[in-house]
Amino acid sequence: MKNQNKVFVLEGKVQHYQWGGFTYLPELLGIDNPKGEPFAEYWLGAHSQAPSLIKNDGSLAELIANDPAVLGEKVKNTFGTLPYLLKILDVKDMLSIQVHPSKEMAVKGFAAENAAGIQPTASNRNYKDDNHKPELMVALGDFWLLHGFRPVQSMHKMLDSIPELQFLLEVFGDGDYKELYKEVMEMSQEEVNRRLGPLLERIVPVYEAGKLQKSAPDFWAARAALTFKNGEDIDRGIFSVYLLNLVFLQKGEAIFQDAGILHAYLEGQNVEIMANSDNVLRGGLTPKHIDVPELLKHVSFHAVEPKVIVGTTLNGFEKKFFSPAADFELSQLLIEKDSSKSLYTPTTDILIVLEGKLVAEEENAGSQNPIIVDKGGSLLLTAEARIRLESPTGAVLYRATVPS
């Protein structure tokens, strides 16, 4: 390996998407926001769109390209690059209804759009790369999201309880999710307006009067109507607010979203890890491009019972949030005040400190000084790194790695 040191200070990239909040990420990262910009996501990884920087040593993408051995043999041979992207999100406004492709479909779609001459930055581009994008998120406080189609009984009850949506009961029948979703996605805009207009006229005033609870789909449908208002046209994604499971996560709870699962983040902060991809097919609640025929190729038309993951503590200080993904693994590390913990990684890991102060020292590093990481700071650990972690304050951090 070309690099003698195996522990580096890492700096991620902020994404200023319009749905982001104004204070959470600036306060976490210890930076000012004098222009009042939205701070939506903080990326840590080697994605070509926003590779993280290694202090005094270029980008993480360049490090891996110049010395793939930093990934460790297994990850280097299996993926050839860092297979995950770690993010911190602050969701102030609702994100789009969306789905991610499988690996096979991403490869086909990316190649087809390249062959068609669609530019990588074109607004009508569906595939930014040829990778899948399974995701795991852990709530950093109260968090709301939509996740997968409601089970049959729940769907019947929901549609029957909303007078303006009762027309969909016959379409859904005993559980025809495909016909139900096609109905609302292929509906003319004129019909969307005619069906949803009376519903919004009824619920928006109640929302504005503060009389709706977040546990009610009406709350999010009304908020969506106000957030994504576009003249007289109503966003068809509002249908999905009622068709999908409304999920509430408390701090420390997690959920996994695989290819094909329709979902949308509604409100809150989370730490999120995913395959190294930016492939998203949208189904509403957005002014961005929606390709309905392509979207329908990827949606899993079956009921979903949301599975909340609480994490498994394995060694007294590391809680792992297991998922089926081979590309990544996420865990929470709790370093008690004035305690010392040892950590080893066979591949490239990223650590981010969310609470407290961390002191990291590479074992057997000779005269190398300890690295002090404050709240919001990050570390890169390359393959075969052995480090000792201490904290004068107590610290909470998250670790991104690849399953061994």
State the catalytic residues.
Answer: 282
Closest of 143, 27, 26 to residue 91, by C-alpha: 143
Burial class (CB in 10 A: 0-12, 13-18, 19+), 216: middle
Residues 6+ apart with CB under 8 A from 272: 86, 87, 88, 89, 135, 136, 137, 138
- Tell me the CA distances in angstroms from 59 to 45, 47, 75, 129, 197, one per residue in order: 9, 10, 19, 20, 50
- Tell me the CA distances in angstroms from 375 to 139, 209, 390, 400, one per residue in order: 18, 39, 14, 17
d(CA 222, CA 212): 9
d(CA 108, CA 132): 11
Identify the residue whose tokens are 């490869």.
107
Tokens of 38: 């939205």
